[in-house]
Amino acid sequence: MSRRPELGLAALHAFVAVAEELHFGRAAKRLNVAQPPLSQSIQRLEALVGHRLLERDTRKARLTAAGLALLPIARRLLDEAAAGLEKVRRVARGEAGLLTMGFTPTTALQVLPAIVHDCRARLPHLDLQLIELLPDPMADMLQAGRIDVGLGREIAAEAGLQTSVLLDEPYVAVLPASHPEAATADPIELEVLREADFIFYPTDRTSGNNARVVEMCVARGFVPRVVQEAPGWQTAISLVGSGLGVTVLPACTRSLALPGVTFRPIRGSALSRIALLHRIGDERPILQQFLANAPLAVSAIKRLPA
């Protein structure tokens, strides 16, 4: 590999100015320098190239064949240097860089799209890589450095990790349209569902949803009678629409409304907490900027009616 030339940006700036003006006096004025130092800079550049770049007399300058060949190269090098410096500045300001975010499926209806949309608007130079995860592996992947931040429901901070709460979302009752409590949009008391058949989810896919719903029911004096497990929210809502039973889900699931299904607010509902999880001590500017912007991204969701 040949030795890199000691080619300074100042010399390239000087050469481009003279090449474009074809006059040392005008080029010196453009660069706001005296003419002798400008001439010396061109001479040093010519010595480095090993060939004359400009023919000059008292009235004007003219590019030689070597100068004509160097001009587009010099312009490209200056443009690349300017772009590179701006990229470095963006990284230092927390406006650019790579972040890998793991997210659980239960955040994908409202919070994840809001964050992605906000990042595209506020941080257009952020390279945000997304990985869908079940809740259990998220902390391990953070600890191992395989992801930089996690987005999930009811996630707990383990040693070395920290949570940043984004949203506390109420639950709603999901009822068949034929259910007696489906007739109005008013909030219901959860205990009116004590005799209903419930549809739940496999324990390893719930992000704490099963436990929270059971807690709510027990607090109202009954244990839900589970007759069916469903692999996801949309399947559960479909089964509710078929009349198989009822379920209780975070309020964001109203966006999955299907024929034959009614969503009712629950009076005194517990809250489903959505948070970001990240490593303590990770002070990269892009991560700090992301953590600062994420609450702004979900602020519109917080204003939606329960």
DSSP bridge pairs for 275: 152, 165
Does position 204 have pLDDT exceeding 60, yes or no? no
212, with CB counted inside 10 A (0-12, 13-18, 19+), is: buried
End-to-end CA distance of the chain: 66
* Tens digit of each residue's pLDDT (9 = 90 or more) over 37-57: 999 999 999 999 999 999 987
pLDDT for the residue numbered 192: 95
* Tens digit of each residue's pLDDT (9 = 90 or more) over 225-264: 999 999 888 999 999 999 999 999 999 999 888 889 999 9
pLDDT for the residue numbered 2: 58
Does position 306 have pLDDT exceeding 70, yes or no? no
Does position 31 have pLDDT exceeding 60, yes or no? yes
| pLDDT band of 91, cuts 50, 70, 90 | confident
* Tens digit of each residue's pLDDT (9 = 90 or more) over 260-297: 999 999 999 999 999 999 999 999 999 999 999 999 99
Residue 284's φ and ψ, nearest 5 degrees, are -55, 135
| Of 183 and 199, the one with more pLDDT | 199
* Domains of the chain, CATH where assigned: 9-93 (1.10.10.10), 96-166+274-302 (3.40.190.10), 168-271 (3.40.190.10)
pLDDT for the residue numbered 303: 59
